[in-house]
Structure 1
Amino acid sequence: MATLKDIAKHANVSVCTVSKYLSADMTVKKETEERIQLAIKELGYVPNVVAKALKRKETFNVAVILPKINNLYYSEITSGISQTLGKHHYNLFIYEVDNLNLSEDEILQLMRENMIAGIIFIGLFSDTSFRESIHNAVGWEIPVVYVNRCMPYSGFPLVYPDLVQAGKLGAEQLLSNGKQRIAFVHKKLPDDLLGYFLEGYHQAANSEHKPLLIEIEDGMDLSKSCIPALRENNIDGVFVLNEMSAVYLTKALVDQEIRISEEIAVVSLGNSLISQISTPELTCVDLQNRELGIRSAEIILSQIRKQAFESVTVLEPFIVVRKSA
């Protein structure tokens, strides 16, 4: 394996010159740079990144911790992170909590042992994982960002969408289409979190009247559980607070020959490829998932570089109108 001494000899320069050039600590003449680069190429020199990191006590590795990667929701956010980090020559490492089989403290210790420069945590709105143990990373002076959790600021940066505005946009879209009996279909959510969406509904409807709330579970047969409830309550507009659930609901409506949009309009929370290829195409409240990733990466980089950053970043969702409403 080629060494700095071999490179220096091949390029006819000093070892010190090669070392400082590779460390970007000095500028050399273009002719000298070309000789060094040629020597690196011809000798197949590979820098010892680990040794370099240990010497400088820094790395260019940023970790993303999320439940699982095989989900369009997570992959959109991660794509925004990767795009931003790549522009600044940082490496992205993804850790899936579901597959690590480690406790929260063990996962954070793993980050510390691997000299991770910063950690971005991604989860669903109701996910409270790492909420307490994250303070260990803060205590170790590892920059962190907590993404997509709508919660009070507690000492580390937060990036999340405005869920009140999301609820308002979904309700407004249904009301503007003449829908008067509206239901919110959702998976189990904490009361305070559901309250954000309901507050948005009340702002849109300008009324204290609550929408019908229908809670669903994974694997539930919507045609037997959800649709009868919609029929019994004369519901003509549905805001589904989970994109995949919205797809399953529209499928169940089609199977029962219920005309979507005309009889029951459907709005989905979330706007990934799933909504675009659904039948019919789903009208959505777009939460700016990719932008969530971009902003979180920018904040991590600012922390690493000791630059100013926003403690709390709230992104404004927007409506995307398609055929379902």
Structure 2
Amino acid sequence: MYNSLKLIFYLLISKFVLYVGYIVIIHDSFHHFVTAWDSANFEYISIHGYNSAYYYAFSPIYPLLIKSLNYIIHRTSVSALLLTNALSFIPPIVINKVFNYRTALLFTLFPTYIVFTTIPYSDVIPLVFLSLSFLALKNKKLLTSSILVSIAIASFYNLALTLPSYLIRWKKLHYLLIPIVIGLGIFSWFYFSTGTPFIYFYAEELWGVKFTTPLGQAEWLLTGWFTSQNWKFLGYLIPTYVWLIRNLLFEVFYLLGIIKLYVMDKFYFAYSLAIFLPLLFIEGTPAISIPRILLQAFPVFYAYSTMFKVTWIYAIFCLVISIVILIWQMTAFFA
């Protein structure tokens, strides 16, 4: 209980410093803080539903939760903000139970976790259910873990790629039945809503998503339509190579952790690799979002917990980088 309270305290302090730092440096409006980029898409869906193929790239779980809370709050953007921040305290507490306190603290203070569980984004939803599925596995509750990972997949469809790794713990194929049923339910919803079960893939095409090679992704980051726009950070133009360097820094960090996991636990290794590898073979907006999506490979922080202690230097560094990421996100889409 004491460690959980410390994690809550550190996350609260981090969010407070993040928001104050943003206001002091940017002097931006609260409205922009809660409606920038994908936040606006989720909030739009919660009000208007899926009235365009463009929106089927997003799972309905987060918008439905926003809509439910909005019956009480009566302001969609505030409902989204409160929902994300309230749920953000669950994964660190659960990760503490699954691994250890040091792992949970490393994860809690990590810049992309602080930022994308403070602004209204949906990433916290799959993280809640993924961490709970890991806790169920630790407690040998295999059916429960199957249900929880199925909900996680329903909130972020690409997590279906992690299912083979779960067989290392489940041992038996019948635990795949629940994720399969959930998947069929999603495709059925697509079909009855749009006339095609594959609307998600069409929506991804609208977002410019294509399969490529790691070199192709690097070329897209250097020359693609997105990074070539006139993005600025505190008035300074962001060169396209900075986007590539940004991705590489996060990818190297996670890759080193995954390599360490190989000798620690084969399930954690296989699961994290299933998150990591597919991200190297895409271009389009998901390639920009790699640092954020990699949060789902949270067992990596367990590997790092065995390599170094959490110090005040690490905490202060993470807070500073969090402010940088938030400013970048608000002005040039870091995600």
Q: Which interval holds the TM-score relative to the shorter structure? A: under 0.3
- Higher gyration radius (CA): 1
TM superposition score normalised by structure 1: 0.23
TM superposition score normalised by structure 2: 0.22
**Hey, which of these two has a bigger chunk of helix by percent?**
2
Higher relative contact order (CA 8 A, sep 6+): 2
**Hey, which of these two has a bigger chunk of strand by percent?**
1
